[in-house]
Chains A and B, each alone.
Chain A
Amino acid sequence: AQSVTQLGSHVSVSEGALVLLRCNYSSSVPPYLFWYVQYPNQGLQLLLKYTTGATLVKGINGFEAEFKKSETSFHLTKPSAHMSDAAEYFCAVSFTGGGNKLTFGTGTQLKVEL
């Protein structure tokens, strides 16, 4: 069975500071990994995904994530936070077969302060 753990249900950073949102997964087969963002009163939007190939993945809005198999991690980073980054972020895992069902973490609420 696969699972996702997001450390920190709430993260607060200052505008211009580094954003680091943590995600660890467990999967018995090679995973596909995703980060989604949810702005208030909206649906989920894909930020980035890792399937195969390069382990450093760049997404929209300046975010990136690195797949580290040895650490079973897929942490999301952004060098400089902007007020518009305030949202809830979800890490998710799936794998080939099994209907490609997504298993989500419990989410991290990012707050950006002046």
Chain B
Amino acid sequence: DADVTQTPRNRITKTGKRIMLECSQTKGHDRMYWYRQDPGLGLRLIYYSFDVKDINKGEISDGYSVSRQAQAKFSLSLESAIPNQTALYFCATKGSGSQETQYFGPGTRLLVL
């Protein structure tokens, strides 16, 4: 079984709809991250969390919110989706040591019409 899972893997929605992307991990990591990937732009950080009570904004948090329901679960919400939020979204997890690696989920491909 995969260590980091994301649901759904693909989603089509309409402008103005609320949508939630979910991430679960079995690695026992404290730190979790949400990124979006756009062609030619690489990955950009949306939000990150050190633990259930510690949520931080990344470089492109506008239009997004997150919830850390448990150590193993970190959800990303688009309150009112817009077409320029069409992208590939990745969740990642990492242990608390500074030199540890971030492990990525398989991604969620989101299309906002």
A97 and B42 in contact, given A42-B106, A43-B90, A43-B104 (Cβ under 8 angstroms): no
- Contact present for B41 and A43 (CB under 8 Å): no
Chain A binder among B11-19, B60-68, B76-84, B93-101? B93-101
Task: List chain B residues, Cβ under 8 A from A97.
Answer: 98
At the interface, is chain B mostly helix, strand, loop or mixed? strand
Asked if A56 is at the interface (CB within 8 A of a chain B CB), the reply is: no
Chain B proximity of A52: nearest CB distance (Å): 7
Asked if B58 is at the interface (CB within 8 A of a chain A CB), the reply is: yes
Q: Can you list, as one digit per residue, whether each of B11-39 has a CB less than 8 Å from chain A (1) or not (0)?
A: 00000000000000000000101010000
Q: Report the number of A-B residue pairs with Cβ-Cβ less than 8 Å.
A: 58
**Interface residue count for A (Cβ, 8 Å)?**
25
Asked if A12 is at the interface (CB within 8 A of a chain B CB), the reply is: no
Asked if A104 is at the interface (CB within 8 A of a chain B CB), the reply is: yes
How many angstroms between the C-alpha atoms of A22 and B104 in the bound complex? 23
Chain B proximity of A50: nearest CB distance (Å): 10
How many angstroms between the C-alpha atoms of A74 and B18 in the bound complex? 41
A99 and B41 in contact, given A32-B98, A43-B90 (Cβ under 8 angstroms): no
Task: List chain A residues, Cβ under 8 A from B44.
Answer: 104
Query: Measuring CB to CB, which residues of chain A are less than 8 angstroms from any residue of chain B?
Result: 9, 32, 34, 36, 42-46, 49, 51-52, 90, 92, 96-97, 99-107
